Structure 1
Amino acid sequence: MFIVLLIVLLIIINYNKLFCVTYEEETNKYSSLVYMSEEERNIIRLYLNKSHTMLEYGSGYSTLYFSQFVNAYYSIEHNEQWYKTIKNLIDHSPIVSSIIKKYILIPIKPGYKGWLDGVSDGNKIQFHDYINAVHSFNVNKFDRVLIDGRARVDCAFETYSYLDKNSIIFVHDYTNRDYYSNISKKYYKIIFQTYEGQTLAAFKLR
């Protein structure tokens, strides 16, 4: 009888090792895949905690990685193929899928209202529905916002009413694009920025 119990125990232990992904393993799996420098990634992570509700414009491995450090995560994507890729990864990750409350696609294709190349930032007219998707979540306040998608200046302005004095907005590629400085001219004050890698800036309400 003892031998039978021992065998069962060993089977359970080995099953968990092979098939049950731990929180730490899940975190490490996506860390290096986030398209940011290590410094940028670590700075954002430093400002996250498990009480936060977070919004993201522009999904990716950042969605899978940063969601693990907050309580609830909402993400908006415009590229249908990329959306399907990330959605598949989310659906196959019990840890991540329990935190991501809504991941929505607002499809915008090259050529739509003059958005020609599929690479440029786009504007408020071309990405109107994408920018305004924040209103569909029925969330009163976001503690953290990561803007790493299209029409970033307009996305920053549209989220204004969902923030409080403790909320922080992160804008990726900030110092690489001069017109992103418009973000700090109206509603927001910059609290820090990096100058290496793709660059990153963080803002609070004025």
Structure 2
Amino acid sequence: MYLLVPQHPLQSWMDPREQALVVQYLQRSNQTTRQKQIGSGATMLEYGAGSSTFFYSNYVHRYVSIEHNMDYCRILERMAASQPNRSIIISYMKSDSSGFIETNRFKQNVPLSNVDPSIQIYCIIPTYAMLFRRFWHIGERSTYSMYQNYVDFVSSYLHNQLFDFVLIDGRARPQVAYVVLKHLNGPHAKVFVHDWNKRTGYHVIVHEFYNIVSRQIESDQLGGGGLVVLERKLYVRGTAKIAEIQWKKSKEPSWWL
């Protein structure tokens, strides 16, 4: 989730009412975990890193964020350095036909090599083909082909990991919403999608894949804002490849691939 300038990450870049709704769910999960005395806390996945990464990670045990903008990843390093006591790794990931490889790493306050940091950010380096598509279609809706390795990262590199919460606030949000389905930790895992109000293309995901369980529509956020809280439909698993989805209630959008 982007900031216009690299401010200190005290708050997420959301309307305070949207932020409060997310925090409400995270705190409720923490209370349930303490009552049951199981596990070590909730895990959260985010697409679109930023101030939200450092803010919401205070409420969960482990926070994984995925970002596509390399310039912004350097800003994230400075944000991390402003919080020297927090355990943070920022990995720069390059993809090829064999998968992903880490090309560079920012590491802070990680005492042991086999201990997961509380915040793990993956910066996904785009291929030249993806950069060309983005440039050629500048100003148009994000498609899967523009951000393919970014969208696919969770299923390609983190394929065995499940998450209690997912925040989607980066590029190609409907496609990301589909890909994360098989990474949700049970039918009641929550997915937060930001900027819902005016970006009606996002709404296809509730026709096909998710149910809305809560929302904060009133927003003073630039661009219209609005936040929805989703749970996957019970019959949806998200196992098909993104180009092989069997659409049930609508046609595949022209911008999907």
- Give the TM-score, by structure 2 length: 0.63
- The structure with the largest helix share of the pair is 1
Match of 1:128 in 2: 148
Pick one of 38, 41, 47 that aligns with 2:19: 41
Cα separation, 1, equivalents of 2:75 and 2:138: 18
Pick one of 179, 192, 199 that aligns with 1:177: 199
Moved over 6 A (4+): none
Structure 1 residues without counterparts, runs of 5 or longer = 1-28
Shift, 1:73, TM fit = 0.5
| Secondary structure of residue in 2 paired with 1:30 | coil
Deviations 1:87-145 (A, max 9, x none): 23224422353411x21111348972432376655111111100011121354311000
Match of 2:118 in 1: 99
Cα separation, 2, equivalents of 1:166 and 1:99: 23
Cα separation, 2, equivalents of 1:195 and 1:119: 25
Cα separation, 2, equivalents of 1:133 and 1:189: 24
Describe the shift of the 1:52–1:111 C-alpha distance in structure 2 as closer, same or farther (beyond 3 A): closer
Cα separation, 2, equivalents of 1:159 and 1:130: 12
Match of 1:194 in 2: 216
| Structure of greater Rg | 1
- The structure with the largest strand share of the pair is 2
Structure 2 residues without counterparts, runs of 5 or longer = 1-7, 31-40, 89-116, 220-224, 234-257
CA contact (8 A) 1:68 1:99 kept: no
- Paired residues for 1:82-121 under 5 Å: 82-93=72-83, 94-95=85-86, 97=88, 98-100=117-119, 102-108=120-126, 112-116=131-135, 121=141
- Give the TM-score, by structure 1 length: 0.77
Match of 2:164 in 1: 143
How many pairs does the alignment contain?
176
Cα separation, 1, equivalents of 2:152 and 2:58: 25
Match of 2:60 in 1: 70
Cα separation, 2, equivalents of 1:45 and 1:155: 22
* Identity score, percent: 27
Cα separation, 1, equivalents of 2:48 and 2:62: 17
